[in-house]
Structure formats: C-alpha cells, structure tokens
Structure 1
Amino acid sequence: MIQIKKCKRKRLVNCLWLIGVALCIVGCNNSNTQTERSETAKTDTVAEVYVELGFFGPVKPEKWAVLLAAVQNNVTHSRREAGNLAFNLYLPENDTLQPIWFERFQTYKAHTLHMQQDYFKKAIAVIKQSLAGEALSIALKDVKEVPAVNPKNRTAAHNSITLYTVKPGSRQQFVTAMANAAAKCRGLSNNVEYNLYQYKNEPEKFVLIEAWLNKPKNVQEPEAEYFAAEPVRYMVKDISENKNVNH
C-alpha cells in the first residue's frame, strides 16, 4: 500500500510539473502574439498627412474685402503652426471672385488643433456670411510614388491646379508617367512646385498643383489615353499674402 501511494504521488507531481510547463509555453506564445499585434497596430496607425483642396464658389461682391482679409489672416497664422506643411489661397487669373484654398498638415491631429484656433474660427464665421452658395472641399492624400515636396519658395508668377480622372486600369501607368514628369519638372530652375495628390476615396482621381517663376516651355502633358474625362485646369494666381492682391 505504501509503495502504491508513493507511486501515485510521484505521478501527480509529474503531471503538475507538465501542466506548469504547458501553461508557461502558452503564456509565452500569448505574450509574443500580443507583442506582434502591438507592432502591427503601430504600423497600421502611422499618422496620415491631412490634405484638402477647396472651392469657395461665388463670393458676394460686397463681402469680398472682408472675406479676403479674414482668410489671409488665417493663412498667415496657419503657416506658423508646427504641424502645417502648406496653406495657400488662390484666385482665378481672370479675377473671378471664386477663390480656391489648399492646405496640408503633417497629421489629422495637427489639423484638428488648427481648427481650434481663434483665427480659424473667425475666418469660418466670415466665410459663412460671405458666400453666395456652398463651398466644396475635396479630401486628398499623398501619392507614395510621387512624394509631395514643399515649394522652394512661395513666390511664383504662374500657378495652375489640374483635376484628372483616369480610366480604370490606367492608374499605375498614369502615376508612373507623372512620377517621371515630376522628376524632370522639379529639376528645372524655374519650377517652384509640382505636386500630385490623389482623391482620398477615389483612387482614379488626382490633383496636380504647379507653380512656376515663368511660363514653362516644352513641359510634356500626360497622354490623353489615360483619361476617362478631359482634364480640368484652373489657371490661378496666389493671393495668400496681401502684396499679391489688387482688389
């Protein structure tokens, strides 16, 4: 009887030891899995750049001066924000009172902080009272194959904004062509800006923003075969600062 009891006790100890080892292994595996998930989460939540192009639409003529002053004040202060990459205000070259804005922030959080500033809130209040209709904004994103480059300077005599709609299946060809064009244009001494952006939720729609010291010559346009619709180009002047305003 004593022998049997000792045997049983020994087996029980061995079983408990094996269970302990098994639990340890499972715990280690779970820890590794959690670490992997944590690393994956870090990758998945990499801060996304905030990019937006907006069309104010028609401005009430009698409200133009006050709107311009408020928006220029917002632009000036916004450019000083640590998270701001670009903020521009444009007007069609024919002086039609339908301004266009473009803004780019390092992160969405930086843009949220921007919207908390008094100068932003004051500008929005003035804008709401000054427009004849509704403003239209387009959420954009950087194109990884054509990384955006901050303008060399903010003084350019010739500016344009072009909207492209690419045929299904032609996106990669178009992006490759634009990457090659960007490399060439940015290498020219008279180029100030040549940046391509994609509509955030429409992968076949793009915006090209160009700025030149003088009118570019022999700059090759993308092949027409890429497009599902005729590109829309706005020839504009930069009115971000008071010195460029004639009104």
Structure 2
Amino acid sequence: MLTQLIKFTVKPQHQQAVKDALVDSKKGTRHELGNINMNIFVDNANPNVFYAYERWQDAAALAFHQQQSYTQNLLRLLSNALVCTPEVFNLQDTKPEPVVIKAADHEDALFTIIFIFPIHSEFRQPLLTQFEDHIQHSRQEEGNLLFDLYTVQDDDNTLVVYEHWRKESDVWDIHFNQPYAKITGAIMEQAVVGDMQQYMHFVSEINE
C-alpha cells in the first residue's frame, strides 16, 4: 500500500482550471483497479491551495496512474499554474491502521482537518504511543468519521493527522474536552515545533 498527500499552491488566475483538472483526474482514477482511494480538497482559508489524498495498491498502480491522459493533462497545466513546487508527503501507516471512513448523514455539515506538524525528535515515540490510545477513542466518538495518523517517509520529525468529523463543534466542544485528548494535547504542546495552529489546515472536499 502506498499513501500520498500532495499540496498544490496555484496562481489565482489558474485556480478554476486546476480545480477542474483535479476533478477530471479524480473521475478517471475511480476506474483504475490499483487505486484504493483519492480525495481532493480545497483549503477553507485559501482557495488557491489544494490537497490530494491518495492511496494506491502498490508502486505499479501509481506508475500506471501517472501515465493516464487525465494525469498528464493535469501535470501540463501545473507546469505553469503553480506558485511553488508541490509538497509531496509519502505517508506511512501507524497503529491502529487506517480504516474505511464512516458514512456521513445528509444533515452532517462535515469538518475535515489535515494536520501536518513538525516535532522535536525526542517526542516522536511518546507521541506515537499516545496516539495509539487517542485514535482508538476518537474513532468511537459519535461525531468522528475518520481519524488516521501517519509518519512521513524519510522525515522522522514530521507527523500527519487526517481526520473527518460530522460537524465542527464535534471537534472543539466534544473531542478536545475528552480526558485522552487532554493528555495528547499536553504532550503536543511540548512536542510540536512552534504554534500548533499554524499547521492545522481546515479543508473542504471537492466532489463535483
């Protein structure tokens, strides 16, 4: 299994074209046998920032995807549309392993967070240990749809949390007030380099 998170920051004049190309790529990717999952998001605070979350059966599946016409069209567009080189995070599963997202209800507002944060190296193992407990409890919360933690290949000092909630208040009013979340938060305050808030990206999925 291969998992990637890719961040694209585009020039404002290319925003709609990139969005359309990402949607076309997602539609085509659905028919690829080697693709496990692909989600496209736009940053709620900056419409020029997009994220692609992708899971692949293996390296051959990703190589096949990169040769498809819709992928090549996207790459040609991005060659002139980007503000900077895409940020590619090759993600590695932690324990407990990622699970299939729970189904949202029609009335759910949906609140998604992509949290990419650097840590002081001495806190890596304590955080991984605490998150094992944290994730199991989080997934049992009524408001949680998905909660996964990843390490980053070739970067021991960065972690990525990928989480979906039914609504925003499920995070701020309920989740962060749980005893286990307070323990995690206390460790995070020491472990994360700088202010945690700057690394939390609130995003909306593009489903067109």
| Partner residue in 1 for 2:110 | 157
Where in structure 2 are there 5+ consecutive unaligned residues?
none
| Partner residue in 2 for 1:55 | 7
| Partner residue in 1 for 2:192 | 227
The structural deviation recorded for 1:227 is: 2.9
The structural deviation recorded for 1:194 is: 0.7
TM normalised by structure 2 equals 0.82
Alignment: residue pair count: 191
| Partner residue in 1 for 2:81 | 130
Amino acid paired to 1:148: P
The structure with the largest alpha-carbon Rg is 1
Moved beyond 6 Å, runs of 4+: none
| Partner residue in 2 for 1:238 | 205
Where in structure 1 are there 5+ consecutive unaligned residues?
1-48, 243-247
Is this contact kept in 1: 2:5–2:91, CA < 8 A?
A: yes
1:218 has 2:181 as partner: no
Select the structure that is richer in strand: 2
Amino acid paired to 2:65: H
What is the 5 A alignment of 1:1-247? Answer: 49-57=1-9, 59-143=10-94, 145-153=95-103, 157-215=110-168, 216=170, 217-219=174-176, 220=181, 221-222=184-185, 223=187, 224-231=189-196, 232-239=199-206, 241-242=207-208
Amino acid paired to 2:98: A
The structural deviation recorded for 1:189 is: 2.6
The higher-RCO structure (CA 8 Å, 6+ apart) is 2
Amino acid paired to 2:96: V
Alpha-carbon distance in structure 1 between the residues aligned to 2:17 and 2:175: 40
Alpha-carbon distance in structure 1 between the residues aligned to 2:119 and 2:42: 26
Alpha-carbon distance in structure 2 between the residues aligned to 1:69 and 1:218: 35
| Alignment RMSD (CA, Å) | 2.0
Distance 1:96 1:70, change over 3 A: closer
Distance 1:226 1:94, change over 3 A: closer
TM normalised by structure 1 equals 0.70
The structural deviation recorded for 1:156 is: 6.3
Is this contact kept in 1: 2:138–2:175, CA < 8 A?
A: no
Is this contact kept in 2: 1:160–1:235, CA < 8 A?
A: yes
Distance 1:96 1:107, change over 3 A: same
